[in-house]
Structure 1
Amino acid sequence: MTAPTATLLPVATARQTRARLRAALRGERPALWAALAMLVLDSALTLAGPLAIGRITQAVADHRGAGALTGPVLLLTVAAVAGALTGWAATVLLARAVLTVTGRLREDALAAALALPVDTVEAGGTGDLVSRVSGDAERVSEAASGAVGDFAAAALTILVTLAGLAALDWRFALAGLIAVPLQAHTLRWYLRTSRPLYAAGRSADGRRASALLGAFTALPTLRALRLAPGRQAEVAQTSAEAMAYEFGATRAATRFYGRLNIAEFTGLSAILLVAWALVRSGHADIGAATTAALFFVGLFDPVNTLLGTFDSVQQATAALARIAGLTLNGPDKERSSAPGAVRPGEGIVVRDLRHRYGDHGPDVLRGIGLDIAPGQRLAVVGTTGSGKSTLASLIAGTRTPYAGGVTLDGVPTDQLAQRSGESARRIVLVTQEHHLFPGTVADNLRLAGRAASAPDVEAALAAVGAADWVAALPEGADTVVGRGGTRLTARQVQQLALARVLLLDPEVVVLDEATAEAGSDTARTLDRAALALTEGRTAVVVAHRLSQAATADVVVVMADGRVVERGHPDELRAAGGVYARLWESWTRGGDRTHHRG
């Protein structure tokens, strides 16, 4: 099997996984203890069947009349009714506790995934992240909703049944215990064999998902360049690797259950031999022997369930470790790092900022230093590849710098981006990649502010110049858009994205070519929308058109990862430097909207 090409996201240790599980269990222990009590009663009631059959058998052997059946039948009836009630109560209590815990784990996983730095996600592959918040979360949920109750019920049934055997005669219990060493040895072998299989299998599944998502995302390019066969081979290789682990786990499980059958045969043979000896010597009657044999046969399913749930537990444990691994770089870790006291009014400070992609890649930013005062509008211009977008993502905190740092009022912006609540909304990055969510226009805007009223939505649409075309829709802001609804143009989607940010109302807005759009009329509309968005806010604008830089308070010109010029746009035009040459080239161009600033 080949080694993975991507640096997968971290996997939590056993200790870290237990800590995450304990945190998810907070407040649910009373319900779990109550469920355990109901399971104990339910397990004790399962002994009623063998006891009743043993009494009936003894009555037949003694040639007693039909009246001897009244007691056993009444016992079965009462036990059935009581067992139904206790089983129902245990199921309800377990469901309430388990569903709450699994829901909490899912929420933690999603929150941690959303807080991961972009560099971390890109290094590990999007597929690995998706497999954790979907497949792994589902594996934990299934095990928790099924295996937890099954394990507890089976374990309690085994203990109660062994106590019942001992109550009949201690030699019955001793005979039944003969199977335990075989079962323990089988379980130990299985755990030792399956644990690494499941852990590696979940990682292989993450690599398969990453390869599939990468292929689907790049499908048009792969077809255009005739690269589909090569990518298909990569997908096939990762799929074969994942299937190899699944086949290995299946083979181990088959051998596991085969060995358990041998242990059951050995234990039942011992029970029957002891029963024969005790009945022959007069130390036990036929009814007791029958009850003992039925007790032990009744252990087959609980023992198989108990040991079989280790299979689900093993898979769920591996999945839980991957989910908990997300939080190693998530909001909990960042909150605990105590970045320092907020210094209001300091604005954005960039100090000796350096960045590279990958541990051994070249520097794409080289010692950038900037001071952006509160309320100031900074425009970043430069040719393609100069480092503008990388600078924007680092200022917004969606990436962690390789060296140096970016702070907002003294707090590192990458830590702000990984927090939850209001502090995470202090600074927002808007790129040219805008997503239209299924739903109405108003739904798309209220993603940024659930409490936004209809007037709030209307005001945001008006501010970005979208009020007229939204009003012209069949149902106005309540019109369903996107897939399955009214199709919108690229400009309209961009305007909704900007209006969404207005409802979010951040202190700082970073626009990374967020209004890049061909066509002069559209360009002017989006430029006005961007101005409305940045009004009264600290703003960093990566300019797609130099007209966006003309209204800035300060312009910085980048080249080869460095700031080569900075100043007011009028001053830079008069200075005759790089910005002046860019401006002259742009103003003389036949189509200004296609010149990248």
Structure 2
Amino acid sequence: MQTPLSDDGLLPTATAGETWRYAVRLLRPRWALVVLTVLVLSAGTALQLVTPRALGWVVDAAIDGDRGAVVWPVQVLVFVTIAAGILQALTRTLIALVGEPVLASLREDVLERALRLPAGEVERGGSGDLVARISGDVEVVTAAIRSTVPTLAMSVFLVWMTAVGLAVIDWRFAVVALLALPTDIYALRWYLRRSGPVFADQRIAEGARAQQLLDSVGGVDTVRAFRLGPDHLRRSARRSEEAVEVAYRAIHFRTRFWGRMHLSEAIGVGVVLVAGFYLVRDGAVTVGAATAAALYFSRLFEPVNMILMMIDTTQEAGAALARLVGVARVAPPPPRERAALGEPSVDVRGVDFAYDEGREILHGVDLAVRPGTWTAVVGASGAGKTTLVKIISGLHPPAAGEVRLGGVPVGELGPEQLRDTVALVTQEVHVFAGPLIDDLRLARPDASDADVEQALERAGALSWVAALPSAERTVVGRGGHRLTPTQAQELALARLLLVDAPVVVLDEATADAGSAGARRLEGAARRALEGRTVIVVAHRLTQAAAADDVLVLEQGRVAERGTHDELVAASGRYARMWSAWSSSGAPPSSMGAPEPATAV
């Protein structure tokens, strides 16, 4: 089952309805805290409205010359200031108690679904898009929950309560204040209709730009080998220009929107001042009441402006949330019945593959690997070695032809069975932060201490692990004990042994280890993987010489195939490469510079 990608080839984005339903589902277990938050927010906002009225009382007392009457409004102002501050702090605390668990649940859902996505699906949709979502989009939503939501909620409550306060002083103040409303509504409708899609486009454009940069940088050797540099530069420039253009559109809408809002504010202040003058002249209200009304209205625009300022952030957060919910709602692949596999053979039949239409990487590749044997794949950078083993591992579906593992097409194996059948180790090994034994148990959570120790011993790592400060309990990875490239690869080999897959693919797994480390790793791998079916992308020709079979790729085609001795005797490309190395004493590399695991 493939993940439904959007029209632009990225991972899906949830609709507004799906996003709301998902948010409600996350809030439902915390409804009591939500209600308490609303009540405290209402009380705090109501207290803030006492301040303008109390100042109006002070004005009336001063006009009447009653000094004693000034004392109690001042006492009210002091009490209100303290109480409002306490309630505001309590409101922010309650919002954090509601929002942080919701945010944690969202992160967990997104990460869980992201980890469950088949690796091939992630590559097809774009790892850059996924990275942009679980980093940039999560940061946007986090900032909104921690800052924007509390500010927006308080501002909304203050606006409607201020309107009530105006009406309480004199209903005519509330009526004349409404004269500014049509301008507000017009500006807001104009802005929302146009800016919402712009912010959604902005998040998508940033994800597409990140994906293009990752593709170009991650596949730099392939780009160089096929002379695709100018094309990738044009693509990166186009993606960047699209992101900048969308950002300019957003700024343009903001500027025009704020011009309309300033006009509305000017209209509102003018009509309230005029109304206050006539009402005081006619004796309908006191000067203090008119002062309070003017203060209410002038304070009204602060939360209104805050709301409007938050609209940008809210829409951006909404677009980011929709992208996260799009990942969180991706249905996991349906369970499949485990296919009955035969002996661990690998059959590649007429496989074609192209990353871009019109530029094929593999052309009619055939490969048959007998159970329990080692096959080395050699070729120049860009020959298609890594692409071939990714197809064998199930990361990429072939454009034509098929791959069979144990006699069963790879496409018929579910993700779990595929993981149990074929294991891929590349030169880029990630060491997760935490105790080393937990890092190993990622491969098999139910592995006992004895299982872990046996895997370390077979991988040749038990001696240096035992010498660590806390042995296998030592914290490794970021912030912990740093492992050498050779140690990291031995750790990956131990993980592979815990998975116990019958078919193993080693993609340049010793390239970063150095000559001595590579020989040590090759020896450990040969001993540990004895009896398994192994395909190794050979960085060193000693790996090919020790293999049961050698496949030579050239520009995506099978150039030669046979044992090391047969190919040397055939005096072809492999023989020339072997002869050049043997006569020069150069490091036994596979047709040139090492090829990163991300390259083809």
TM over 0.5: yes
Rate the CA distance shift 1:223–1:543 in 2: closer, same or farther, 3 A: closer
Q: State how far apart, in whole Å, the 2-side matches of 1:359 and 1:367 are.
A: 18
| C-alpha contact (below 8 Å) 1:388/1:542 kept by paired residues | no
Determine the structure 2 residue equivalent to 1:333. Answer: 331
1:398 aligns to 2:395 (yes or no): yes
Determine the structure 2 residue equivalent to 1:59. Answer: 61
Determine the structure 1 residue equivalent to 2:431. Answer: 437
| C-alpha contact (below 8 Å) 1:428/1:506 kept by paired residues | no
Instruction: State the Cα distance separating 1:45 from its structure 2 match.
Output: 0.6
Write the letter of the residue equivalent to 1:45.
L
Query: Residues 345-424 of structure 1 correspond to what in structure 2 (within 5 A)?
Result: 356-357=353-354, 360=357, 377=372, 393-394=390-391, 396-400=393-397, 416-417=414-415
Query: Residues 120-519 of structure 1 correspond to what in structure 2 (within 5 A)?
Result: 120-214=121-215, 216-217=217-218, 235-327=236-328, 332-335=330-333, 338-342=334-338, 356-357=353-354, 360=357, 377=372, 393-394=390-391, 396-400=393-397, 416-417=414-415, 426=420, 429-437=423-431, 442=436, 445-446=439-440, 448=442, 457-470=452-465, 478=474, 488=484, 491-503=486-498, 505-506=499-500, 510-513=504-507
Rate the CA distance shift 1:226–1:476 in 2: closer, same or farther, 3 A: farther
Q: State how far apart, in whole Å, the 2-side matches of 1:224 and 1:344 are.
A: 40
Q: Equivalent residue of 1:511, what SS?
A: strand
Q: State how far apart, in whole Å, the 2-side matches of 1:204 and 1:10 are.
A: 14
Write the letter of the residue equivalent to 2:442.
A
Write the letter of the residue equivalent to 2:158.
T
Determine the structure 1 residue equivalent to 2:107. Answer: 106
2:566 to 563, 566, 584: 584
Q: Equivalent residue of 1:298, what SS?
A: helix
Post-superposition Cα deviations, 1:269-311, rounded to whole Å, max 9, x if no partner, equal 2222222222222222222211111111111111111222111
| C-alpha contact (below 8 Å) 2:351/2:398 kept by paired residues | yes
| C-alpha contact (below 8 Å) 1:137/1:323 kept by paired residues | yes
Q: State how far apart, in whole Å, the 2-side matches of 1:586 and 1:520 are.
A: 23
Q: State how far apart, in whole Å, the 2-side matches of 1:227 and 1:406 are.
A: 32
Of the structure 1 ranges 154-163 and 210-219, higher mean CA displacement relative to structure 2 is found in 210-219
| C-alpha contact (below 8 Å) 1:396/1:414 kept by paired residues | no
| C-alpha contact (below 8 Å) 2:167/2:173 kept by paired residues | yes
| C-alpha contact (below 8 Å) 1:495/1:526 kept by paired residues | yes
Q: Equivalent residue of 1:199, what SS?
A: helix
Determine the structure 2 residue equivalent to 1:94. Answer: 95
Write the letter of the residue equivalent to 2:33.
A
Q: State how far apart, in whole Å, the 2-side matches of 1:339 and 1:223 are.
A: 41
Q: State how far apart, in whole Å, the 2-side matches of 1:144 and 1:81 are.
A: 26
Q: State how far apart, in whole Å, the 1-side matches of 2:234 and 2:561 are.
A: 48
Of the structure 1 ranges 119-128 and 289-298, higher mean CA displacement relative to structure 2 is found in 119-128
Determine the structure 1 residue equivalent to 2:596. Answer: none
Determine the structure 1 residue equivalent to 2:597. Answer: none
Q: State how far apart, in whole Å, the 1-side matches of 2:148 and 2:475 are.
A: 45
Q: What percent identity do the matched residue pairs reach?
A: 33
Q: State how far apart, in whole Å, the 2-side matches of 1:100 and 1:23 are.
A: 13
Rate the CA distance shift 1:205–1:388 in 2: closer, same or farther, 3 A: closer
Write the letter of the residue equivalent to 1:334.
P
Write the letter of the residue equivalent to 1:155.
V
1:41 aligns to 2:43 (yes or no): yes
1:25 to 12, 16, 27: 27
Instruction: State the Cα distance separating 1:466 from its structure 2 match.
Output: 2.3
Q: State how far apart, in whole Å, the 2-side matches of 1:227 and 1:535 are.
A: 40
1:13 to 12, 15, 29: 15
Rate the CA distance shift 1:506–1:300 in 2: closer, same or farther, 3 A: farther
Q: Equivalent residue of 2:29, what SS?
A: coil
Instruction: State the Cα distance separating 1:193 from its structure 2 match.
Output: 2.4
Q: State how far apart, in whole Å, the 1-side matches of 2:396 and 2:324 are.
A: 21
TM-score, normalised via structure 2 length: 0.75
Q: State how far apart, in whole Å, the 2-side matches of 1:95 and 1:447 are.
A: 35
Determine the structure 1 residue equivalent to 2:595. Answer: none
Instruction: State the Cα distance separating 1:327 from its structure 2 match.
Output: 4.2
Rate the CA distance shift 1:531–1:29 in 2: closer, same or farther, 3 A: farther
Instruction: State the Cα distance separating 1:44 from its structure 2 match.
Output: 0.5
Instruction: State the Cα distance separating 1:498 from its structure 2 match.
Output: 0.6
| C-alpha contact (below 8 Å) 2:156/2:303 kept by paired residues | yes
Instruction: State the Cα distance separating 1:188 from its structure 2 match.
Output: 0.9
Q: Equivalent residue of 1:333, what SS?
A: coil
Rate the CA distance shift 1:175–1:154 in 2: closer, same or farther, 3 A: same
Q: State how far apart, in whole Å, the 1-side matches of 2:374 and 2:224 are.
A: 38
Q: State how far apart, in whole Å, the 1-side matches of 2:118 and 2:206 are.
A: 22
Post-superposition Cα deviations, 1:85-125, rounded to whole Å, max 9, x if no partner, equal 22122111111221222233233333333444444444454
TM-score, normalised via structure 1 length: 0.76
Q: Equivalent residue of 2:504, what SS?
A: strand
* Aligned residues: CA RMSD: 4.8
Instruction: State the Cα distance separating 1:183 from its structure 2 match.
Output: 0.9
Q: State how far apart, in whole Å, the 1-side matches of 2:154 and 2:196 are.
A: 24
Q: State how far apart, in whole Å, the 2-side matches of 1:128 and 1:102 are.
A: 20
Q: Equivalent residue of 1:178, what SS?
A: helix
| C-alpha contact (below 8 Å) 2:440/2:494 kept by paired residues | no
| C-alpha contact (below 8 Å) 1:7/1:124 kept by paired residues | yes
Q: State how far apart, in whole Å, the 1-side matches of 2:30 and 2:353 are.
A: 46
Write the letter of the residue equivalent to 1:146.
S
Instruction: State the Cα distance separating 1:314 from its structure 2 match.
Output: 1.3
Rate the CA distance shift 1:81–1:581 in 2: closer, same or farther, 3 A: closer
Post-superposition Cα deviations, 1:47-93, rounded to whole Å, max 9, x if no partner, equal 11011101111111222232x12321232222223212221221111
Instruction: State the Cα distance separating 1:258 from its structure 2 match.
Output: 2.3
Write the letter of the residue equivalent to 2:462.
A
Q: State how far apart, in whole Å, the 2-side matches of 1:487 and 1:557 are.
A: 33
Post-superposition Cα deviations, 1:429-467, rounded to whole Å, max 9, x if no partner, equal 323323243768937844626897876654332111123
Of the structure 1 ranges 468-477 and 139-148, higher mean CA displacement relative to structure 2 is found in 468-477
Gaps of 5+ in 2: 1-5, 570-574, 583-587, 592-600
Q: State how far apart, in whole Å, the 1-side matches of 2:107 and 2:456 are.
A: 34
Write the letter of the residue equivalent to 1:497.
A
| C-alpha contact (below 8 Å) 2:432/2:439 kept by paired residues | no
Q: State how far apart, in whole Å, the 2-side matches of 1:219 and 1:412 are.
A: 28
Write the letter of the residue equivalent to 2:332.
E
Instruction: State the Cα distance separating 1:412 from its structure 2 match.
Output: 7.9
| C-alpha contact (below 8 Å) 2:550/2:562 kept by paired residues | no
Instruction: State the Cα distance separating 1:145 from its structure 2 match.
Output: 1.7
